[in-house]
Amino acid sequence: MKLGVNIDHVATLRNARGGSFPSPVHAAFVALEAGASNITCHLREDRRHIKDEDVRLISRLTKRLNLEMAANKNIIDIAMEISPRSATIVPERRQELTTEGGLNVLEGIERYKKINKRLRSKKITVSAFIEPEERQIKAAKDAQFDFIEIHTGRYAGTIDQKGMETELLKIKASARYALDLGLGVNAGHGLNYENTYDIALIDGIYELNIGYSILSHSIFVGLHKAVKEMIEIIESAEPPVIKR
């Protein structure tokens, strides 16, 4: 299982003083160097953290960019221009602190189908950030997404053991269902150094997208080490390779 690192909050810190430091581009390369498979940037409609120049520059320097975005014409045009490796479509509300909940693909299958057709014409892999629900997964298949990203926020936000187990089972069953439909499966949101191991045990998930916990930990240990420690957790959940 791979790790994609979301670097939005490097831009949050930079924007706090309106200058150019710390640089999200620098952060992207430290994370890749530490073993991240992908860099995620969420270019929000209000540009509260990542800016157009950030994604333009990162996409010029590496192909390993996952552009997280609302299904908004202006942002889709930017995606068409910079052609990231993948685009993850998320719902977006101005007032939210972070993405809250998954996309309602079911209510917009034909609209997403058109968007996906456009993005796929540039060989961009399209992913839908959705709740672990069969009806949304089936809708994502019908809308011709390549991947789903399962929203792990409810799992991460549950504090009692029983509730976490229930959420884990939902995520596991959803991953299985999506794989059986021929969709690729990623997962993310709210994952940290305590709750990622159990998600990494789930068979068939391709990549975990993690941001806030890694960047928070990086304040104390540095970004390279923070990324490496998360990769170690993910890899420790993998069965050992038996050489014959």
The packing angle between helices 134-142 and 109-120, to 10°, is 50
- DSSP letter for 60, please: H
**Segment interacting with ligand PXP, rule: CB under 6 A, options 27-35, 114-122, 182-190, 233-241:** 182-190
Residues classed as catalytic: 42, 68, 189
Question: Whose Cβ is closer to ligand PXP: residue 47's or residue 243's?
Answer: 47
Of 110-129, which residues contact ligand PXP (CB under 6 A)? 129
Pick the piece of the chain touching ligand PXP (CB under 6 A) from 18-26, 116-124, 138-146, 209-217.
209-217
* Binding of ligand PXP by 190 (CB under 6 A): yes
4's tokens: 């994609």
Q: Nearest to residue 99, comparing CAs of 108, 109, 107, 88?
A: 88
Q: Which residue is nearest to ligand PXP (CB)?
A: 211
Instruction: Let me know: does 56 contact 62? Beta carbons within 8 Å.
Output: no
In the chain, DSSP assigns E strands to: 2-6, 38-42, 65-69, 86-89, 125-130, 147-151, 184-188, 207-210
How many residues touch ligand PXP under the rule CB under 6 A: the total is 19
Structure tokens at 99: 């993405």
Q: Which is nearer to ligand PXP, 195 or 242 (CB)?
A: 195
User: Which residues would be at the binding site for ligand PXP (CB under 6 A)?
Assistant: 6, 8, 42, 68, 88, 90, 98-99, 129, 149, 188-191, 209-213
